[in-house]
Amino acid sequence: MEQKKWILTVVLAFVVAMLPLTFRILESHQLQLLYMGELTNMILGKLGGWGSSRHDLSIDKAAKSKAIGPNLTACHPSYGRPDLLVYCCPPGFESPLPFVDFQFPNPQSHVRVRRPAHLLDQNDISKYNKALSIMKSLPYDDPRSFARQANLHCLFCTGAYEQQNSDTPLSIHRTWLFFPWHRIMIYFHERILGSLIGDDTFALPVWTWDIPEGMMIPNFYVNMNLSFFHPERDFSHFPPQMADLDYATERHISREQQIDTNLAFMYTQMVSGARKTELFMGCAYKANEGYCNAPGTVERAPHNTLHTWIGSNLNPGREDMGKFYSAAKDPIFYAHHSNIDRLWDVWREIQEYQLDIKDPDWLDSFFFFYDENLKLIRVKVRDVLDITKLGYSYEEVDRPWLNKRPSPSVPPKLARQILKSKENENQFQFSSNRVSSSDFRPHGRALDIGLTVKVNRSKDHLIKKEKEEEETIVVHGIEVKGDAYVKFDVYVNLIDQTTISPKFREFAGTFAHIPGGGEMMKRKINLKLGVSELLEDLEADQDESIWITLLPRTVSCGNVTIEAIQIEYIK
């Protein structure tokens, strides 16, 4: 007993002695308050347990709901790559911190108008440059600092936090939390930047890579004299190189062809391939149900593809943008995600707001972020569905891809004749007309070379075609070993593999995969591609079967196996 008292006295004396030193390091007054808050809370927490607050009730409710949220006091090292342990936990995370629930900004305040990056003038650029330089100069203890902002992405995307009331790690990618989580992240990031230069109209630029004028890296990001420059990038992709929204390896095509391909690709990802909620938003990820691991169209590409396209070809995981633990260290991350965020709203508008998720488990999922006043805020998904209420908007951007519905590369009737004769001559690596033959379990089928299977369509759907149902190609049980970026494309009734691209209607969609994020993210993945409109355009909607081709586009596909290819119908 005596010994314990003695140790406690020494520890306390040490803490008290260190306080002035710590405060000298921490510059801002607000930060001191925060630090005091943390300390007080830690001491109170140790004394009384931290359940004795007004949040008791919400814990009870949370037990019934399957909403997801992080346990901020359960943070641990995580894997940025299988061979790289990273530590992105904030200082002092072990102690519970006081937080408040999100409140909308004052509706009277200025609207922050996010403008396409290529339209920014010198004044806009220097404002942002100043804000970002200040942010980069803040000490790591300050949650507003650029390093801490960047680590938020590492925390939520590599499974560093555990979920509340569970010991399962939380990871927001490849699920329906992808869009809302990133919206919240850049919302606070933008407000912090604005407050650092005392400008409440400050808005993030948008890298509008979906319109021809925006298809290059915006100029100020490659200006070495500005804080937007980042050395960990693929320099061969600097302007005037056009972005390849379906990037796997270099295509070496003309600018015009790249633009055409990008626009047609956007059409598939935003329109014909995204006619059901889950196809665009990703799979339903709920507490106690395990990680769902099936991203939506836009998350796979252009989102993942452009992360990879930007990241440095000299780094093992194409860091920084090419891996989630490091991506947000590159300032272009935030302009990339403004566009992702904008496209979420564009998709909702195209779908006339009929496909919005109503599931309370999604609406009540929540995260914690520091705001510009260093307050810790609990934000729910339901809080961020209306950007007008969040006080920002997007400058109107053209949607040239809306009328870029692709055409078949070969007249459909001719294509079918060729496919049938190829099949009779046994020219496919694998082909059969039995449905079960596209099932490769238990061993799986490697994707080191292309694969074509003939898959039967359901008879019911040949007779009475229900308009509301979306015919969907499902590649089941995709398993990725190794750590390299993986990309394969899926085509229907394809004749010539050498000339094909997403410019043509045969393109059903893509699997673009950034490995990483620990054990949970290694789970097998299902790829779902909506093809009802495609089948009409290929005049195949009355056919009993279709040929589906998986075309590997990276060498890493040799590390990939799949379990089955099937056709399913989504209501």
Catalytic residues: 153, 173, 182, 303, 307, 324, 337
- Which amino acid would we find at residue 29? H
Number of residues that bind ligand C2O (CB under 6 A): 9
Handedness of CA 482, 487, 490, 496 (dihedral sign): negative
Long-range contacts made by residues 556-559, C-beta under 8 angstroms, separation at least 24?
556/482, 556/484, 556/485, 556/486, 556/487, 557/447, 557/448, 557/486, 557/487, 557/488, 558/446, 558/447, 558/448, 559/480, 559/481, 559/482, 559/484, 559/486
By CB under 6 A, name the one of 79, 280, 324, 392 that touches ligand C2O.
324
Asked if residues 71 and 50 have their Cβ atoms less than 8 Å apart, the reply is no
Contact call for residue 329 and ligand C2O (CB under 6 A): no
Reduce the secondary structure of 467-481 to three states and give it as a string.
Answer: CCCEEEEEEEEEEEC
- The closest alpha carbon to 172, from 148, 156, 151, 154, belongs to 156
Q: Which residues within the stretch 181-220 sit at the binding site for ligand C2O (CB under 6 A)? A: 182
Shortest distance (Å) from residue 148 CB to ligand C2O: 16
Segments in 425-514 forming alpha helices (H): 459-463
- Which amino acid would we find at residue 1? M
Asked if residues 310 and 330 have their Cβ atoms less than 8 Å apart, the reply is yes
By CB under 6 A, name the one of 183, 276, 307, 318 that touches ligand C2O.
307
- Strand, helix or coil for residue 227: coil
Nearer to ligand C2O, 157 or 525 (CB): 157
Contact call for residue 303 and ligand C2O (CB under 6 A): yes
State the residue number with the nearest CB to ligand C2O: 157
- The closest alpha carbon to 153, from 171, 169, 135, 136, belongs to 171
Asked if residues 402 and 264 have their Cβ atoms less than 8 Å apart, the reply is no
Nearer to ligand C2O, 97 or 157 (CB): 157
Nearer to ligand C2O, 320 or 533 (CB): 320
Phi, psi of 554 (to 5 degrees): -130, 150
DSSP string, 59-95: HHHHHHS----EEEEEE--EEEETTEEE--PPTTTTS
Determine the Cα angle at 507 with ends 502 and 509, to 5°: 95
Shortest distance (Å) from residue 406 CB to ligand C2O: 26
Q: In Å, what is the CA distance from 47 to each residue of 6, 99, 244, 295?
A: 19, 19, 57, 44
Q: In Å, what is the CA distance from 232 to each residue of 39, 176, 201, 331?
A: 37, 29, 30, 11
Q: Which residues within the stretch 502-541 sit at the binding site for ligand C2O (CB under 6 A)? A: none
Nearer to ligand C2O, 322 or 391 (CB): 322
Q: Which residues within the stretch 395-414 sit at the binding site for ligand C2O (CB under 6 A)? A: none
Nearer to ligand C2O, 237 or 303 (CB): 303
Shortest distance (Å) from residue 306 CB to ligand C2O: 8
Shortest distance (Å) from residue 340 CB to ligand C2O: 7
Residue located via tokens 């943008």: 321
Nearer to ligand C2O, 173 or 342 (CB): 173
Beta sheet of 376-380, edge-to-edge order: 100-101, 376-380, 366-370
Shortest distance (Å) from residue 221 CB to ligand C2O: 15
Residue located via tokens 């995969």: 513
Q: Which residues within the stretch 129-188 sit at the binding site for ligand C2O (CB under 6 A)? A: 153, 157, 173, 182
By CB under 6 A, name the one of 62, 327, 377, 415 that touches ligand C2O.
327
Nearer to ligand C2O, 480 or 564 (CB): 480
Nearer to ligand C2O, 170 or 415 (CB): 170
Shortest distance (Å) from residue 85 CB to ligand C2O: 20
Nearer to ligand C2O, 34 or 185 (CB): 185
User: Is the omega angle on the peptide bond into residue 442 within 30 degrees of 0, that is, cis?
Assistant: yes
Distance CA 66, CA 45 (A): 27
Distant-in-sequence, close-in-space partners of 208: CB < 8 Å, separation ≥ 6: 116, 117, 118, 214, 339, 342, 397
Q: Provide the binding-site residues for ligand C2O, judged by CB under 6 A.
A: 153, 157, 173, 182, 303, 307, 324, 327, 337
